[in-house]
Structure 1
Amino acid sequence: MRPFAARATVLFLSAALLTACSSEPGDKGGDNAKEPAIGTIPKLLSAADLSYPLDGYAATAEQRRKLDHAQSRVTTACMARFGFTYTLPQVPSSGRSSNEGHYGLTDAAAAARYGYTPNRGVAPPAKPIAPKLSASGELALNGPDYKGAQPMSLEESEAKDSGKTLGGKKVPIGGCIREGYLKIYAPKKGAVDVMFVTNMGMDAFSRAHDDSRVSAAIKAWSDCMAEKGYKTDDPVSPQQDLGLDANTYGSPRAIAAARQDIACKERANLVGIWYTVETAYQKRNMEQNAEALNQAKAELDERLKLAATLAG
């Protein structure tokens, strides 16, 4: 299984700011070693419109856009404090469903037309271009080299000294980029890791992949693919196994494989089984981490309120 790609859209450079250890939903011992009951399994193929139990605790795409915008405004204000005009580049939305591709290729029409081509007819968002800055501007934006532990809240950051000043003003540890991030995502000590909900979802996805019921469905899909000469056991990212690369994702050979991929997922009901099992693991994680999850939701609501005050 290739690494699971986090679905959350993240503001340009923000991921590098998260240096704390992520909260874990729990180990795989005890009750977590048992496979959860799942009930009736629906027949499913497309993953684009699926919803999950954790969705209510995570920011929507629109909410993430608002948080990104708020973070950018805080960073801009911080840079202005040091005499620099700067706008943090934003990563445009791809316009696709956040769940599309969660179980690999599941859109029959797109498979028949585009094969494994990324974005499937939607132009990829342009890469943001960061404004050029002087050495002093770079110092304000990114902060000086700092040997101590990085502050994990704005409260902690404001109490520490980076050892550098510009125009008589103290440069924050991690610079204005980190100040903008911490003001939106961790203004006070003791905040739940901003990746906590995402990590719970990733944990459920991983456990579901290893679940015997999903493993059996993946094998059924793989056996179905083999009937047409395609040797792969990776339903999410089979391109490498199929001998495809960026230049051949939309080739006739790729389209033929993609159509078989779709047919085999439908025959094995891979999406229906995986989705049902993953949902069960999410629910169990939620029960075991209810207090932290409720705190994460409360903090998300506070972030959104703050972002609303910074809108403009």
Structure 2
Amino acid sequence: MHHARQRLPLLLAAAVAVAALGACSGPSTEKQGGAAAATGEPPVKVTPQPDPANAALPLDAYGFDKSQQKVLQQAQDILTEACMRRIGFASFKNSNTYVAGPDTRRSTSGIGLVDADSAKKYGYRTGELPNRDAGAPAKRDPSETAALFGPQDGVPAHPGAPEGGCAGEAARKLYPKGPKGTSTTPAGNGLVDELTQQAGDRARGDSRVTAAISQWSSCMRDAGFQVKTPWELQQMEGTRWTGPVTGEEITAATTDVSCKQKTKLSDTWAAVLTAYQNTLIEKHKQDLDQEKKHLGEQVAFAEKVLKDGAA
């Protein structure tokens, strides 16, 4: 009797998985769309994504693109170095200078790993490449650190250094107060970041995404991986996936991507996320246009810094 009670939830779970797998067909997708509409979820059309790792999303048009990010980082380096030399550090060189490396892959999206080639080469490593043998950078002199960032660990501010150090001065020049009195930084484009987060949160709870995740989980279980959501695997970077990339990690990563393709989870996620972003853009169009104009002014100033050498 005890064993029978244990088997019942497993049988029910298997039945749910079988029903979910049937949702891959065209008619079931149409039924899901109707059910979603009844719950107030936006209508979507799921189409194949030729490059899911680099799929364009509506809110991308309102943030910095890669070339603009490069210009901003280089300008910030120039402004920081000019300030440091002005207050007495003649040989200062910013160790954070932007370097465009050969690896331009985007291995993940909001649904986790989606690029098959990246999975085969790097597993779940989303930061720098797994062979990290370059060593740590040389430790800064405390007085230089205080000049760069302001008072640090009991070290007083360097004479003549601006508030927040030279890094703070450079950031204020590049990212002055926005139209509503809030500062803007390249890592936080204000409203764009906020709406991106909102759209992602809504997409995670969307019935079409959760159904596709159930199918993905069943596919992974058939391959020997007991995981309920893609984020469980992604979060293992730095814990389970450490040191050199192992065969186990490569197998998990390639199976993950394969299951996303088989169950159309990647395509479903892209379609649903796009729908939620479009809804939010329509609601906040005026404010987004204003923020885009402000970001454009920042890039124009950064380009001037690169041309003139300082500001």
Alignment-derived partner of residue 82 in structure 2: 77
Alignment-derived partner of residue 61 in structure 1: 66
Unaligned runs of 5+ in 2: 1-38
Determine whether 1:304 maps to 2:299: yes
Unaligned runs of 5+ in 1: 1-33, 146-162
Aligned residues: 258
CA contact (8 A) 1:231 1:241 kept: no
Specify which of 260, 266, 281 is matched with residue 261 of structure 2: 266
**Aligned counterparts, 1:1-312, within 5 A:** 35-44=40-49, 46-85=51-90, 86-90=92-96, 92-93=99-100, 95-97=102-104, 99-102=106-109, 103-112=111-120, 114-117=122-125, 129=137, 132-133=140-141, 135=143, 137-144=144-151, 166=159, 169=160, 171-186=161-176, 190-191=181-182, 193-194=184-185, 195=188, 196=190, 197-238=192-233, 244-247=240-243, 249-251=245-247, 253-311=248-306, 312=309
Alignment-derived partner of residue 150 in structure 1: none
- Higher-Rg structure is 2
Structure 1, residues 173-226: CA drift from partner, whole Å, max 9, x if none? 211111111110125672564312233223212221121211111111011111
CA contact (8 A) 1:36 1:280 kept: no
Q: Which moved more, 1:219-228 or 1:290-299?
A: 290-299
Q: Distance in 2 between matches of 1:235 and 1:164?
A: 47
Q: Distance in 1 between matches of 2:94 and 2:69?
A: 15
Indicate the RMSD between aligned Cα atoms, in angstroms.
3.4
> By percentage of residues, which structure has more helix?
2
Q: Which moved more, 1:195-204 or 1:178-187?
A: 195-204
Q: Distance in 1 between matches of 2:121 and 2:146?
A: 49
**What is the CA-CA distance between 1:75 and the residue it aligns to?**
1.2
Per the alignment, do residues 83 and 114 of structure 1 end up closer, same or farther by CA in structure 2, a change over 3 Å counting?
closer
CA contact (8 A) 2:75 2:305 kept: yes
**What is the CA-CA distance between 1:116 and the residue it aligns to?**
3.7
Residue identity opposite 1:83 in structure 2 = G
**What is the CA-CA distance between 1:118 and the residue it aligns to?**
5.0
* TM-score relative to the length of structure 2: 0.70
Q: Distance in 2 between matches of 1:125 and 1:309?
A: 37
Q: For residue 200 of structure 1, give the secondary structure of its aligned residue in structure 2.
A: helix
Structure 1, residues 254-306: CA drift from partner, whole Å, max 9, x if none? 33333322221112101111111111111122222223312221111111111
